[in-house]
Structure 1
Amino acid sequence: METSELVIDVRGFRIESAAEFADALRAVEPEALPGWRGRSLDALWDYIEHRGWSERIDRYQVLVVRAVRAGLFADGNRAGHDIAEVFGEATRARLELSD
């Protein structure tokens, strides 16, 4: 079976915080994470792994988020590391960081 992926590309956004990350995701895909405001990693986990919170995400087997390894996701940024860790543990989502 072929894997269906929802790709949300936020590489064109300046993202310095988890809240800005959530805003960028909603700017590209308004229905993807309607209630996540970037404050709770547990809520992010529920959206991307457990599902049932977003019909848009639930239509796909895998959520792919593309972002730049800068700002929030720069080396040493703890909040970005924590978000990347959530995606790294997920089986139904992945975070792709580019330079």
Structure 2
Amino acid sequence: MANHDDRAQLIQLAEVLKRRDWPARIRQRGDRFTLTVTNPADEELNESVVCSASDNGLAYSVPGGQELGPTADVEKVADRLQNMLRSVRA
């Protein structure tokens, strides 16, 4: 069964990114939801984001475990994602 709390948190992050004109799309993969974020200046630069449990509650992370920040800090997580996707090719 899919975790709808995860989906709601990913929707919040997607809305922040879309307001900044960054494409963000939610997908369901198996029993998990993922958010794919794309650099609008270079569509090859993208990252998947999931929600996962952390010591401080629910957090955004990339598959494989790198934590991006708590879901309560959605603006900071959006900043971090944008910085990550801008600097990949730098």
Normalised-by-shorter TM-score class: 0.3 to 0.5
Higher strand share: 2
TM-score (norm 2): 0.32
Choose between structure 1 and 2 for higher RCO, CA contacts under 8 A separated by at least 6 residues: 1
TM-score (norm 1): 0.30
